[in-house]
Structure 1
Amino acid sequence: MLCKEFSAHVRKYLWGGHFWSGSYFAGSVGGAPLTVLKQYIEQQKRPV
Protein backbone atom coordinates (compact mmCIF):
# COMPACT_ATOMS: atom_id res chain seq x y z
CA MET A 1 0.00 0.00 0.00
CA LEU A 2 2.81 2.41 0.87
CA CYS A 3 4.64 1.61 -2.36
CA LYS A 4 1.52 2.33 -4.41
CA GLU A 5 0.73 5.58 -2.66
CA PHE A 6 4.24 6.98 -2.09
CA SER A 7 6.39 5.07 -4.59
CA ALA A 8 8.65 8.00 -5.54
CA HIS A 9 9.48 8.76 -1.91
CA VAL A 10 9.68 5.20 -0.55
CA ARG A 11 11.84 3.69 -3.33
CA LYS A 12 15.11 5.04 -1.88
CA TYR A 13 14.47 3.19 1.42
CA LEU A 14 13.92 -0.27 -0.10
CA TRP A 15 16.30 -3.25 -0.31
CA GLY A 16 15.32 -5.28 -3.36
CA GLY A 17 11.76 -4.02 -3.17
CA HIS A 18 11.40 -4.60 0.59
CA PHE A 19 11.57 -2.40 3.69
CA TRP A 20 14.03 -4.72 5.40
CA SER A 21 17.30 -6.44 4.68
CA GLY A 22 17.60 -10.21 4.58
CA SER A 23 20.74 -10.00 6.68
CA TYR A 24 19.19 -8.50 9.80
CA PHE A 25 16.33 -9.48 12.07
CA ALA A 26 15.21 -8.28 15.47
CA GLY A 27 12.28 -9.81 17.27
CA SER A 28 10.87 -11.28 20.44
CA VAL A 29 10.82 -14.97 21.28
CA GLY A 30 8.02 -14.71 23.80
CA GLY A 31 9.84 -16.64 26.52
CA ALA A 32 10.81 -19.63 24.37
CA PRO A 33 13.65 -21.73 25.79
CA LEU A 34 17.09 -20.93 24.39
CA THR A 35 17.39 -24.46 22.97
CA VAL A 36 14.26 -23.89 20.85
CA LEU A 37 15.52 -20.50 19.70
CA LYS A 38 18.94 -21.88 18.79
CA GLN A 39 17.35 -24.73 16.80
CA TYR A 40 15.12 -22.24 14.94
CA ILE A 41 18.09 -20.03 14.00
CA GLU A 42 20.21 -22.97 12.86
CA GLN A 43 17.44 -24.15 10.51
CA GLN A 44 17.17 -20.80 8.71
CA LYS A 45 18.30 -20.63 5.08
CA ARG A 46 21.61 -18.87 4.57
CA PRO A 47 22.28 -16.41 1.72
CA VAL A 48 24.07 -17.86 -1.28
Structure 2
Amino acid sequence: VHLLVNYPPKVAISKLVNSLKGVSSRKLKQHHPELHKPAYMKDALWSPSYFAGSVGGAPIEVLKRYLEQQDRRH
Protein backbone atom coordinates (compact mmCIF):
# COMPACT_ATOMS: atom_id res chain seq x y z
CA VAL A 1 0.00 0.00 0.00
CA HIS A 2 1.33 3.42 -0.96
CA LEU A 3 -0.08 6.62 0.48
CA LEU A 4 0.75 10.23 -0.28
CA VAL A 5 -0.13 12.16 2.87
CA ASN A 6 0.18 15.84 3.70
CA TYR A 7 0.05 16.22 7.48
CA PRO A 8 1.03 18.85 10.05
CA PRO A 9 4.72 18.73 11.01
CA LYS A 10 3.85 18.59 14.73
CA VAL A 11 2.18 15.18 14.26
CA ALA A 12 4.52 12.26 14.96
CA ILE A 13 4.71 9.97 11.92
CA SER A 14 4.36 6.90 14.18
CA LYS A 15 1.06 8.28 15.58
CA LEU A 16 -0.19 9.06 12.08
CA VAL A 17 0.66 5.58 10.75
CA ASN A 18 -0.83 3.81 13.79
CA SER A 19 -4.02 5.84 13.41
CA LEU A 20 -4.28 5.08 9.67
CA LYS A 21 -3.70 1.37 10.28
CA GLY A 22 -6.19 1.22 13.15
CA VAL A 23 -9.00 3.08 11.40
CA SER A 24 -8.55 1.25 8.09
CA SER A 25 -8.45 -2.13 9.87
CA ARG A 26 -11.70 -1.41 11.74
CA LYS A 27 -13.43 -0.15 8.59
CA LEU A 28 -12.31 -3.16 6.53
CA LYS A 29 -13.51 -5.59 9.21
CA GLN A 30 -16.87 -3.78 9.42
CA HIS A 31 -17.41 -4.16 5.68
CA HIS A 32 -15.79 -7.61 5.42
CA PRO A 33 -16.59 -9.67 8.55
CA GLU A 34 -14.74 -12.64 7.03
CA LEU A 35 -11.49 -10.80 7.84
CA HIS A 36 -12.04 -11.39 11.58
CA LYS A 37 -10.03 -14.27 12.99
CA PRO A 38 -10.72 -16.35 16.12
CA ALA A 39 -9.36 -14.98 19.41
CA TYR A 40 -6.52 -17.53 19.50
CA MET A 41 -5.16 -16.28 16.16
CA LYS A 42 -3.56 -12.94 15.44
CA ASP A 43 -6.38 -10.65 14.26
CA ALA A 44 -4.14 -7.99 12.66
CA LEU A 45 -4.56 -6.91 9.05
CA TRP A 46 -1.36 -4.85 8.98
CA SER A 47 2.18 -5.77 9.87
CA PRO A 48 3.71 -3.77 12.72
CA SER A 49 6.30 -2.24 10.37
CA TYR A 50 6.09 0.62 7.87
CA PHE A 51 8.30 2.85 5.76
CA ALA A 52 7.91 6.60 5.60
CA GLY A 53 9.88 8.98 3.43
CA SER A 54 9.74 12.72 2.96
CA VAL A 55 9.65 14.43 -0.41
CA GLY A 56 9.78 18.11 0.41
CA GLY A 57 9.96 20.30 -2.66
CA ALA A 58 8.93 17.68 -5.22
CA PRO A 59 5.91 18.67 -7.33
CA ILE A 60 2.79 16.82 -6.16
CA GLU A 61 1.94 15.66 -9.71
CA VAL A 62 5.33 13.96 -10.05
CA LEU A 63 4.77 12.14 -6.76
CA LYS A 64 1.26 11.06 -7.78
CA ARG A 65 2.53 9.64 -11.08
CA TYR A 66 5.30 7.76 -9.29
CA LEU A 67 2.86 6.17 -6.85
CA GLU A 68 0.35 5.31 -9.57
CA GLN A 69 3.06 3.42 -11.46
CA GLN A 70 4.08 1.29 -8.47
CA ASP A 71 1.53 -1.46 -9.01
CA ARG A 72 2.44 -1.66 -12.71
CA ARG A 73 5.94 -2.93 -11.89
CA HIS A 74 4.75 -6.18 -10.27
Q: Structure 1 length normalisation: TM-score?
A: 0.38
Instruction: Flag the structure with more relative contact order, 1 or 2, with Cα contacts below 8 A and sequence separation at least 6.
Output: 2
